[in-house]
């Protein structure tokens, strides 16, 4: 088995196990079941986030003790190999808290900084998206492709908002400018799932400022392998400043609509 496939196999097994853990715990969760907050009072961590990340770290460590791991909740653990894992135990924590079935375990493996394998698993729906670099993208084992949409006015565009109030105010103002030019907007609440939605044509495009590398890595690989373009403004790489994802026939139009509004800034 090639290295990306070996890494993907471990990522999928681990994501499914973590997914079972968070799904089983979900019924005991109420909107008050917050164990900590991060950037703001509304940026929450649940006990399930912590338990799922501990499980994922343990499984990755057992199988590949030399690899580094960066997890949303537990931070950075060094490793001596060229492989680094990016882990979001629950992407869409607020959906999870409210029982909205749009949350996911996201695990990506990077070699020398480039994502080579990734899985996004939604335990509430049983959907598992996978990709290896150069090997295509799949939903539950079936090949997927971006929508092929080439008209902005017919494009369904997903986005998301940061937790910080100042950033949100600006994101709302930008959205006001975008809305008249597209078919409609969706805010599903989990960035990894938004990228997988682009990958399978469930939406035509997506943009968001403020993603962590753990939100982005697996979903971006899946979207790219499904034929989408994933980038930032003016040829920049997708990153915390901005992520834009869309099929090649739509990317430039979405980019050009966004660019003058500077969605990569907060003021």
Interface with ligand LIP (CB under 6 A): 72, 88, 91-93, 160-163, 189-191, 208, 210-211, 215
- The Cα 35–Cα 89 span in angstroms is 15
Instruction: Indicate the burial class of 41 (C-beta count within 10 angstroms; 0-12, 13-18, 19 or more).
Output: exposed
Q: Which is nearer to ligand LIP, 90 or 149 (CB)?
A: 90
CB of 111 to ligand LIP, least distance (A): 24
- The Cα 263–Cα 125 span in angstroms is 32
CB of 160 to ligand LIP, least distance (A): 3
Q: Which is nearer to ligand LIP, 64 or 97 (CB)?
A: 97
Q: Are 114 and 86 in contact (CB under 8 A)?
A: no
CB of 20 to ligand LIP, least distance (A): 19
Instruction: Indicate the burial class of 112 (C-beta count within 10 angstroms; 0-12, 13-18, 19 or more).
Output: exposed
Q: Which is nearer to ligand LIP, 67 or 215 (CB)?
A: 215
| Cα atoms in the Cβ-side hemisphere of radius 13 Å centred on 232 | 15
Which structure tokens are listed for 160? 């998301």
CB of 240 to ligand LIP, least distance (A): 10
Q: Which is nearer to ligand LIP, 72 or 224 (CB)?
A: 72
Q: Which is nearer to ligand LIP, 45 or 226 (CB)?
A: 45
CB of 151 to ligand LIP, least distance (A): 25
- The Cα 34–Cα 46 span in angstroms is 5
The residue sitting closest to ligand LIP, measured at its beta carbon, is 160
Q: Are 246 and 252 in contact (CB under 8 A)?
A: no
Q: Which is nearer to ligand LIP, 64 or 96 (CB)?
A: 96
- The Cα 255–Cα 234 span in angstroms is 8
Q: Are 40 and 163 in contact (CB under 8 A)?
A: yes
CB of 103 to ligand LIP, least distance (A): 7
């Amino acid at each position: 088995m090639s290295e990306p496939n070996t890494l993907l196999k471990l990522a999928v097994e681990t994501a499914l196990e973590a997914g079972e853990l968070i799904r089983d715990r979900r019924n005991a969760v109420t909107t008050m079941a917050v164990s900590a907050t991060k950037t703001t009072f509304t940026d929450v961590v649940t006990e399930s986030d912590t338990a799922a990340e501990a499980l994922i770290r343990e499984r990755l460590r057992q199988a590949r003790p030399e690899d580094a791991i960066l997890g949303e909740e537990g931070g950075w653990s060094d490793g001596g190999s060229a492989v680094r894992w990016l882990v979001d135990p629950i992407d869409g924590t607020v959906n999870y808290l409210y029982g909205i079935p749009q949350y996911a375990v996201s695990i990506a493996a990077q070699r020398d900084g480039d994502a080579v394998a990734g899985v996004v698993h939604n335990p509430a729906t049983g959907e598992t998206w996978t990709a290896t670099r150069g090997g295509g993208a799949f939903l539950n084992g079936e090949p997927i492709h971006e929508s092929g949409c080439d008209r902005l006015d017919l494009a369904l565009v997903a986005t998301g908002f940061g937790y910080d109030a100042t950033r949100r105010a600006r994101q709302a103002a930008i959205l006001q400018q975008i809305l008249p030019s597209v078919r409609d907007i969706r805010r599903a609440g989990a960035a990894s799932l938004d990228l997988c939605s682009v990958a399978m044509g469930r939406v035509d495009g997506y943009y968001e400022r403020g993603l962590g590398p753990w939100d982005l890595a697996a979903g971006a690989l899946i979207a790219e392998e499904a034929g989408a373009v994933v980038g930032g403004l003016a040829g920049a790489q997708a990153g915390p400043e901005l992520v834009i994802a869309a099929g090649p026939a739509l990317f430039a139009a979405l980019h050009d609509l966004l660019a003058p509004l500077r969605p990569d800034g907060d003021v």
